[in-house]
Amino acid sequence: MEKMKNKIQYKRRDFIKLSALASGALLAGACSNSLFAMSYGKEQRYKIAVCDWMILKRQKLSAFALAKEINADGIELDMGGLGARTTFDSKLGNPEEREKFLNKSKELGVGISSIAMSGFYAQSFAERATVNIMVQDCINTMKNMGVKTAYLPLGVEGDMVKHPELREEIVKRLQWAAKQVAEIDGVIAVETSYGAKEELEFLKEVGSRHIKSSFNFANAVDNGRDICSELKILGKKNIGQIHASNTDRVWLQNDESIDMPKIKATLDDMNWKGWLIVERSRDIEQVRNVKANYGANVAYLKKIFQNT
């Protein structure tokens, strides 16, 4: 009789433990889903974002309100200036400040497509001594804000076409970065100056599913490459996000060098989904008119990709 009582008690304890584990898993899932919703907004195969620094709202809460006003689904949120600092000039490492951004995102229903390290447009990812600190700060921000993608432009100083000698060090640093971002199951989307074939070889050399391409329409157009062919060469699994704009000249709807319906058909055939981010394509005659330029480009992308 005593043995039977002990068996029943052990089973009861096991059941309580299993219930606690299940509850914890459900809670973790709920938190994860909440962060996902906050970063990505309502479910949509293609979502349209704008760069906060290009709409003159770098790391400003008001970026969300402006994005809402021009009907964007989200913003690409920058880590801040770099200059000669050890790391980015970011307020997002402060929990109170970060919470303000997350609350504003949720309040307005404007997501965060990615966390950008735009400081590397003009700084050398291959040569800066404190790159590890910078990248880790970005990854910590991704983790704390529930964002799965970081944007890394290699820029002028990291142009591996003009400076092929930098490639070995860039690959090495990205292999380290891949291990760090893998811990949050995230992706660093890298923008290079390569064409698709060379970029695919570069990604294979890095050798991690956590390092992908941030494909930029302007790079293809400026170098006389066909956007759709480039997308197909890279393939669905290698594209982390897309900067869906050209250099400043005319709005996307007036740009004869970009066949947007054909691009959508190509991405549909590839079964790709994700964020299309407007960086430029400003009308050169009114380049400072943020609302007009980004409002027009967002509206056009939504018309093509979301049928709105």
Q: Are residues 3 and 92 in the same domain?
A: no
Residue 40 has pLDDT above 70, yes or no: no
Q: Are residues 10 and 70 in the same domain?
A: no
pLDDT band at 43 (very low <50, low <70, confident <90, very high): confident
Q: Are residues 169 and 244 in the same domain?
A: yes
The reported pLDDT for the residue numbered 127 is 97
- Residue range 96-155, pLDDT digits in tens: 999 999 999 999 999 999 999 999 999 999 999 999 999 999 999 999 999 999 999 999
Q: Give how many domains the chain has, as a whole number.
A: 2
- The mean pLDDT of the chain is 90
Q: Are residues 95 and 166 in the same domain?
A: yes
**CA neighbours closer than 13 Å in the CB half-sphere of residue 250:** 7
Q: Are residues 290 and 268 in the same domain?
A: yes
For 269-286, what is the mean pLDDT?
98
Q: Are residues 7 and 112 in the same domain?
A: no
Nearest to 117 by CA among 133, 94, 101: 133
- Residue range 188-220, pLDDT digits in tens: 999 999 999 999 999 999 999 999 999 999 999
For 54-68, what is the mean pLDDT?
98
Q: Are residues 36 and 68 in the same domain?
A: no
Residue range(s) defining the domain that contains residue 83: 42-305
Nearest to 184 by CA among 232, 146, 152: 146
Q: Are residues 67 and 144 in the same domain?
A: yes
Residue 18 has pLDDT above 80, yes or no: no
How many degrees, rounded to 5, is the angle at CA 164 between CA 186 and CA 237? 30
For 79-108, what is the mean pLDDT?
97
How many degrees, rounded to 5, is the angle at CA 161 between CA 159 and CA 165? 80
Nearest to 209 by CA among 232, 179, 231: 179
Domain of 72, CATH number, reads 3.20.20.150
Amino acid symbol at 121: Y
Q: Are residues 211 and 144 in the same domain?
A: yes
Q: Are residues 126 and 47 in the same domain?
A: yes
Please list, residue by residue across 201-218, b when 16 or more beta carbons sit within 10 angstroms of its beta carbon and e when fewer do: ebbeebebebbbbbbbbb
Q: Are residues 174 and 251 in the same domain?
A: yes
Q: Are residues 185 and 74 in the same domain?
A: yes
Interatomic CA distance for residues 82 and 128, integer angstroms: 11
